[in-house]
Structure 1
Amino acid sequence: MNFTKKLFYDDAYIQTFTTNISQVGKDTEGSYVVLEETAFYPSGGGQPADKGWLNGVEVINVEEKEGEIRHYLAQLLDKGEKVDGEINWHRRFDHMQQHAGQHILSAAFAETFQFQTISFHLGKEIVSIDLDIEDVTDEELERVENVANQIILENRAIETVWVEKEDLYKYPLRKETSVSQHIRLVIIPSFDYNGCGGTHPSSTGEVSAIKILGTERHKKKTRIYFVCGGRVLQQLHEKNNVLKEATKLLSAPEEDVAQTIKKLLLDMKSLQKQLEGNREQLLQFEAHQLMTTAKAIDDRLVVGKVFVDRSISELQWMAKWMTAEKDNSLIVFINETETKLQCICASGTQVDFSMKEICSKLLQEIKGKGGGNQTFAQGGGERSIEGKVLLDKALSYVI
C-alpha cells in the first residue's frame, strides 16, 4: 500500500505541483496511478473529486480506496515517472466556495432555529442540505439567509486544526464527528466548529454570497437547495435572461410580468372551458349521427364502428352518451393505431348482455388486456388483425 501526502491539507490553494508516480494499477473503475504526494482532492464528505491533468493527461476522477489516493486517467502513465500536476482551479475553487457556504448555512440554521443538517450534496449546478425537520417557513429561510450572508460580509477567518478525540471537549462542535482519531476540524471562530475533511477558502468573504433557491419535503425532512459564490451570479444571469425573454414575449415591463402571466392564465382557463364545451357539442353531434346508423337486433339498437387514431377519452364519452340516450343501445367501437387495436363495448340499462364478456373475447383475439363491468368494458392489444375483422367478430357475438 502506498500512502500519499495530501498537499490539499497543507494548502488548499495549491494549483500545480511536481511529484513521482509510486504505483500504477487497474480496478473496476479503470486505470489509475498513485502519487508520492498530491494536490488532487478525492471525492468524499459530500464534495466531488478534483479534476485536472498529470503531464497533460486528463485526470477524470480521484478516489481514496484501501488507503490509497487513486488518480484515474484517460491514458495511463508509467510507474516511477516524474509528473507535473495541475488542478482544474475553476472547479476546485467553486467546490471550496460551495462547501464553506454549506458550513455557514448549516451553522446559521442551527444557531438561529436549532435546525440540524443531516446530509449534504454538492451537485454540478446546485447544492443541497437536508434538515432534520419536516417544514421550514419562508420567513425562517429569509432570516437564516440573512444571518449567513452577514457572516460572509464580516469576512471571518476559516481555520483548520487537527485534534485527537480526547481534545474534542475544547470545541463546541455543531455535531459529532464520524472519525475517532486524527480529527480535522474546520472552524469559523465564535460561529461554527465542525469536523470536515473537505477543502475550504481561508475566509468567509471568499464565499462571496449565499442564495437559497427553494425547498422540498424529502422523507419527512426538508431539503434546502442553494448556491454560493460564482454560482449565485450564474443563477442571476440565467434568471435575468429568462425575465428579459418573458418581457419581450409578453410586451410588458419587468415589474408587470407576474400580473400579465396571471391574466393570461385566467384567459387560458376561460378558453379551455369554452373549447371543452365546443368539443362536447361536436362529439354529441357525431354520436347522434352514429345513432342513425343503429341496427335493430331483437330488442337492441346495435352501433359498431372502426376509428383510426382517435382519442380513447372521446370514444368513451360518445359511447356513454349514446347508451344514456337510448337505454336499449349496444355500442362497439374499435380504434386502430399504428401499433395496436383498442376496443370499447358499452350498453344501456335495458340490454341484458355482458359487455365485459364481449370485450374479453375480443381481447383474446389480439392478445390484449382490459377490464370493465356488465355495461361498460374496454381494453387494447396487438394489431394482429384489421379493425374491421375485430368489429365483425364483436357483432357476431352480439347476434
Structure 2
Amino acid sequence: MLKIGDNIRERGKMQELFYYQDVMMKEFNASVQTQKEDEEGRKYIVLDNTAFYPTGGGQPYDTGMLNAVEVIDVEKIDSEIRHYVTKFLPDNTTEVHGVLDWQRRFDHMQQHAGQHILTAAFVELFNYPTVSFHLGTETVTIDIDHAKISDEELAAVEKRANDIILENRPIVTKWVTEEEMLNYNLRKAVSVTGEIRLVIIPDYDYNGCGGTHPTSTGQVQAIKILATEKQKKKTRVHFVCGGRVLHELHWRKKELSEAARLSNVPEEKTAQAVTKLLQTQKELEKALADANNQLLTFEAKELLQESDANLICKTFTSRSVQELQQLARAIIATDEASTALFVSKQADKLQFVAAKGEAAHIGSMKEIANTVLPVINGKGGGNDTFVQGGGEVTISAEQLLEKMTKVLV
C-alpha cells in the first residue's frame, strides 16, 4: 500500500496517482481533502491520492469502499477526482483506507488491454484503423473504419491477437513530453498536450492512453470476436476478453445443451435439427394458412347464402382485423356485386372493415370511414372500395355497424 501526503492536484502530476503508480494496487491509504455535495445533491469525497480510476478514455470508473462507505462512481472534474459515495464519512475522519472492487477493475483492465491488442491486429494485418471504443458491462465494441470485413479477415485478426496474448509480452507505460513522443511510432495521433502517457506492447503497439491495463498480455487470457454489424461506412466489432470469454462460453454451452436436449440430438447436430424443425414449422404454417383460407371461403359463402341482398353486415367478438379483411375479400371475390361491413370488439377497442366488389353499385367505402372514425376516436384508411380502422369502445359493436350501414342507405 502507498500513502503520500502532498496534494496531487496542486502538484499537477498525473503520473503520481496511485492507479498510475501501481496498476495492480487493490488497497491504499489516503488523506481526506474534502466532503461535499455537487449541484445535483450527490455526495462526494476528494482525497489527496487514490487508486480508484475515474471514468475516462472509454473505460468505466472503479467502485469499492472508503472505510465503511461505499464508492458508487468516480469522476475527474477539472483538477479533482471525486469519489461519489452513498453517505459521508464521519466529520472527524482525516485518513481513509480504500479497497477497490478488484473483480470489476481487473475485468476493465483485461477488456481495455484486449482492445489495444485487437485494434493493433486490425492495423497490422489489414491497415483497418479503429475510430471508437466502448467498454460495456457484457461486451466490448470497436468501430473499424472499413465498410466490410470478411470472416477470413476476422479469423486472422483474432488469431493474431491471441498469439500476442500467448507470447505474454510486457505491457509497459511511459510518460513522455510532446517532443519525446516523436520518437515513438504511435498507432494514432495523440490529442492531449503536456505530460503524455504511452501504453506500449514492445514491437507491436504504441499508443497514447490514460486507461489501466494489466502488466502483461498474458493476463488478458484470451480474446473472442462475437459478432459484427454495419455502422454506415464502418464496421462495429463485438468482442470479449479474459473472464468474459469464460462467461460467454458458459451460457452458450448451457443454451446449446438445452437446445440439443429438446431436439433429442447430440450437441454437434443441433443446427441440423433446428433447421429441420424450422422447415417443418414453415410447412405447418402454410398448411394452417391454407386451411384457414378454406374456412374463410366456406364462411363467406354461408354469409352470402344467408343474406337476402348484396349487403352483408355482421359483428364479431375477439376477431382480428386481419381476419375481417380476409373474410371481406373472400365475399367480394365470390360475389363481385356484394358489399361487406364487419365490426369486431376486442377487449378495449373496436375494429371495422368495409369492402365492396367491382360490380357493387353503392357509395364509397371512404365515406364510411370518414363517418365512423370520429365516433370511436379512431384511426384508419383505405380507398373507395376497401377501408379498415379501429378505435375506442365509445359505442357498442352493433351501434357502430348500424352507423356504417346508414352511410350506404
| TM, length-normalised to structure 1 | 0.96
Q: Does 1:349 align with 2:349?
A: no
- Aligned twin of 1:337: 346
Q: In structure 2, what residue type is equivalent to 1:66? A: D
Give 1:266-345 correspondences, 5 Å limit.
Answer: 266-296=279-309, 301-345=310-354
Q: Does 1:52 align with 2:58?
A: no
Q: How far apart, in 1, do the equivalents of 2:107 and 2:168 lie? A: 18
Q: In structure 2, what residue type is equivalent to 1:139? A: E
1:175 positional shift: 0.2
Give 1:140-289 correspondences, 5 Å limit.
Answer: 140-289=153-302
- Aligned twin of 1:16: 27
- Residues 159 and 149 of structure 1, relative CA distance in 2, 3 Å threshold: same
Q: 1:32 aligns with which of 44, 47, 63?
A: 44
- Residues 29 and 95 of structure 1, relative CA distance in 2, 3 Å threshold: farther
Q: How far apart, in 1, do the equivalents of 2:196 and 2:202 lie? A: 18
Q: How far apart, in 1, do the equivalents of 2:316 and 2:94 lie? A: 73
**Residues 19-74 of structure 1 deviation map (CA, whole Å, 9 limit, x = unaligned):** 12101121227110101110000011110000000112110000111221000001
- Tell whether the 8 Å contact from 2:30 to 2:95 is kept in structure 1 after alignment: yes
**Residues 232-273 of structure 1 deviation map (CA, whole Å, 9 limit, x = unaligned):** 111111111111111211111111111111111111111111
1:79 positional shift: 7.1
- Tell whether the 8 Å contact from 1:104 to 1:148 is kept in structure 2 after alignment: yes
- Tell whether the 8 Å contact from 1:2 to 1:22 is kept in structure 2 after alignment: no
Secondary structure at the residue paired with 1:371? strand
Q: Does 1:365 align with 2:375?
A: yes
Q: How far apart, in 2, do the equivalents of 1:365 and 1:293 lie? A: 29
Q: In structure 1, what residue type is equivalent to 2:197? A: R
Q: CA RMSD in A?
A: 1.4
Comparing 359-368 and 90-99, the one that deviates more: 359-368
- Residues 2 and 145 of structure 1, relative CA distance in 2, 3 Å threshold: closer
Secondary structure at the residue paired with 2:104? helix
Secondary structure at the residue paired with 2:113? helix
Q: How far apart, in 2, do the equivalents of 1:2 and 1:317 lie? A: 75
Give 1:55-94 correspondences, 5 Å limit.
Answer: 55-77=67-89, 78=91, 81-94=94-107
| TM, length-normalised to structure 2 | 0.94
Question: Tell me, which stretches of 5 or more residues in structure 2 are unaligned?
Answer: 1-6, 11-15
- Tell whether the 8 Å contact from 1:58 to 1:73 is kept in structure 2 after alignment: yes
**Residues 105-132 of structure 1 deviation map (CA, whole Å, 9 limit, x = unaligned):** 0000000000000010111111110001
- Residues 190 and 2 of structure 1, relative CA distance in 2, 3 Å threshold: closer
Runs of 4+ in 1 over 4 A off after TM superposition: none
- Tell whether the 8 Å contact from 1:21 to 1:79 is kept in structure 2 after alignment: no
Question: Tell me, which stretches of 5 or more residues in structure 1 are unaligned?
Answer: none
Comparing 305-314 and 206-215, the one that deviates more: 305-314
1:293 positional shift: 2.6
Q: In structure 2, what residue type is equivalent to 1:217? A: K
- Tell whether the 8 Å contact from 2:296 to 2:330 is kept in structure 1 after alignment: no
- Tell whether the 8 Å contact from 1:310 to 1:335 is kept in structure 2 after alignment: yes
Q: How far apart, in 2, do the equivalents of 1:373 and 1:294 lie? A: 25
Q: How far apart, in 1, do the equivalents of 2:189 and 2:199 lie? A: 13
Q: How far apart, in 1, do the equivalents of 2:188 and 2:308 lie? A: 79
- Tell whether the 8 Å contact from 2:176 to 2:198 is kept in structure 1 after alignment: yes
- Aligned twin of 2:386: 376
Secondary structure at the residue paired with 2:303? helix
Q: How far apart, in 2, do the equivalents of 1:272 and 1:99 lie? A: 48
**Residues 58-110 of structure 1 deviation map (CA, whole Å, 9 limit, x = unaligned):** 10000111221000001112475311100000111111111000000000000
- Aligned twin of 1:395: 405
- Residues 178 and 29 of structure 1, relative CA distance in 2, 3 Å threshold: farther
Q: How far apart, in 2, do the equivalents of 1:2 and 1:149 lie? A: 38
1:368 positional shift: 1.5
